[in-house]
Each structure stands twice: as C-alpha cells, then as structure tokens.
Amino acid sequence: MSNSPENVILGQPTVGEEELAAVAEVFRSGWLAGAGPACRRFEERFAAAVGTAHALATSNCGAALYLGLRVLDVRPGDEVVVADYTFPATGHAVLQAGATPVFADIRPDIFTADPAAVEAAITPRTVGILVVDTFGQPGDYDEYRVIADRHGLWLFEDAACAAGATYRTRPAGSLADLAAFSFHGRKGITAGEGGALVSDREDLIARARKLHTYGIEPAFNREGGDELPIPTFHEAGFNFRLSDVQAAIMNVQLDRLPDLLAARRSVAKRYSAAFTDLDGVEVPVELPDREHPWQAYAVLVASEIGRDRVATRLRARGIGCNFGTYASHLQPVYGEQPPLPVSADVFARQLALPMHANLTDAQVDRVVTAVREVVTELS
C-alpha cells in the first residue's frame, strides 16, 4: 500500500513544533550524547508517571529487557517462563542472556499470559516469569505475583506497549520487580526509537545504569568534585544509552500522553461500536479493572472468512492493516516447542487496524465502512 494522502495508514507518531523546539534546546546545550541532563530529567519524570522509584532510559526496549535479565542474574541453564503472544524481542532477550524461554499460552480474550499456563510451565530450572502487556493492556498481575512468590521467582513486566495503562488503578510499569518500555515509532509515546527500564529496586537500576554505559558510571554522573574522575571497569557492559536528543523528544511526548491516550481511546470506542454486530469479527476486550492504552486495535477474523483475504482487500482500498503479533513458540529460532493452541489460533486470525492519535473522524469512518464491506463480501 502506497503512502498517498488518501490512504489510512496503520500507525503514525504525533510530533510537531514542540518536539523540534526541545531538540533545538539540546543542540544549544552542546550535550547531544546519551545519559545527559535531558535523559536524567526524562528518567525522573517517567518514573513518576509509571509509579516507580527509578527509571533508566535505554536505546530501545530490547536493551531494557536484556539489561533487566542481566541484573536479575539470569544465566545459562536457567529457564524463564515467557508469555507466548508477543513480538519475539521478549524471547530473544532470554536467549541473549543465555537462558531458555519456556512459553506459556494466553487468555483468549485479552491475549496476555494465562496464569494457569504460567504455573504449568514452571520447572526446577525456572528462575523467573516474563509477562507481556499485550497491545498495552496489562495481564493478571495479582495472580502472577502469587505464582512467583509461591515458587520463589522474580516477575518481569514487558510493558513495551503499555505507557498510560493501568491495572486495578496501578500504572503499568509498577506491577512487577522490573518493567521494560518501548518508545518505537508505533508506540503511544515515541522518539522513533528508545526504551526504559523501571523498578522500585535501586540496586537493580544502579547496576543496569553501569552496564548500559560499558560498565562504568555515565559521564554526567561523574561531573563535579575536586578530583579528576577516572572510572574503573568491573564488568563488561554495553552502549545501550538513549541520546539526549531523543530524551528531549520524550519529555514533550510525556506532556502529550494524556491527550494521546484520549484520542486513541476515542478511536477504539468508535471501532468497537461499529464492529460489535459484524458477523465473523470479534472486537478486542478491555477489562473493567484495567485501562487500555490502545497501542493497537486488533480484531479476530473468523477462520472461514480468512484474515489474510480481509487484509489483502483492505490494503487494496488504501486501509493499512497487518497481523497482530507473533505466537513465539512457532518461530524457528526457538526450536521445537510444544503446541500452544490459543496463541496459535490468535496468531492466525488477528488483524490490526489503523490506530494512532492523528486519525480523523472521516478516516475512522472510512476504515469502518471498508471493514464492514469487505467482511460482508467474504462471508
């Protein structure tokens, strides 16, 4: 599908003059590199927004996931229970840490890890549970916590899509021992790329801060004092820092977050009202004890109609769409895995429709009309 003005694209960031002004301010400051004053300001503000004591800005969510596993001391031979229905960056982080992901099947309504499946996946080698806020809606964290505590495991929240979400009034990001966020261009707030690792545990974030800067304290932290600061390397680290240019953008995006969430929720409400009575399509569920940030709006298409046939026809009409996300256990990188029927079924039938804060009423109407016409034609 071409990116012509008459098309309705799947996702789009909301950025403008405010972000440009913030970047210009960073240019004038002379500190464009990572982990500088703009980053530190963003970290403080983001921690407050997600209800944690600490935040560390990272180059992307994959880096945040990997750093989190490293500071949790995940090692080769360990197993980590991982929610199956997710972009494979979640499982990749476990592999990169040297451990083995053991995938857990999902709830059929909100696509997050089924607590019963999580518990069934635990073995004597299991060291922790890595769950995913699918499309931003949190899973069953009270149940996950009971399971983790019963087995002496840590709990890690992949909140990549979940900025602004809540679970029983608690913000996404504050629901586990650690949480990782993404600021990729398709996310609710974005700098194009970027991520964050958040936690109430100062020890974990302090170690992650060193690891994300080659194994030493970032330069900004070392400024001041009467002696020349010469850092000492005790552990081999990485360059996983977010630049101050990106952090400046993220500070503006945080200001925008309430309006961006309201716009997405309005679109989701209109879609659900329009498709609830459409045979062959199941609309996504928002549970009453959670606030969904609607990073994506993904319907389930009946098998007899065919998700791929619907997608092809929608794209021909200029409507952006794509599959939802991955049933990770089906990806060859993870080798032979036991069947997870719910996740596999959702993977085969889910279709993401245009969802971003810039959608106009006319564009939403166009999507609704096209979906209804295509599904009716194929039924």
| Residues labelled as active-site residues | 187
Q: In angstroms, what CA-CA distances link 234 with 86, 216, 218, 238, 250? A: 34, 8, 14, 13, 31
Q: In angstroms, what CA-CA distances link 151 with 144, 179, 308? A: 11, 20, 42
- Dihedral sign for Cα 271, 273, 278, 284, please: positive
Structure tokens at 153: 């495991």
Q: Which of 192, 132, 193, 199 lies closest to 161 in space, CA to CA?
A: 132
CB-neighbour burial class of residue 368 (10 A; exposed 0-12, middle 13-18, buried 19+) = middle
Q: Which of 79, 2, 99, 72 lies closest to 320 in space, CA to CA?
A: 2
Q: 187 φ, ψ to 5°? A: -85, 170
Q: Could you tell me if 7 and 213 are in contact, meaning their C-beta atoms sit under 8 angstroms apart? A: no
CB-neighbour burial class of residue 333 (10 A; exposed 0-12, middle 13-18, buried 19+) = exposed
Mark out the alpha helices in 162-222 (DSSP H runs): 202-211
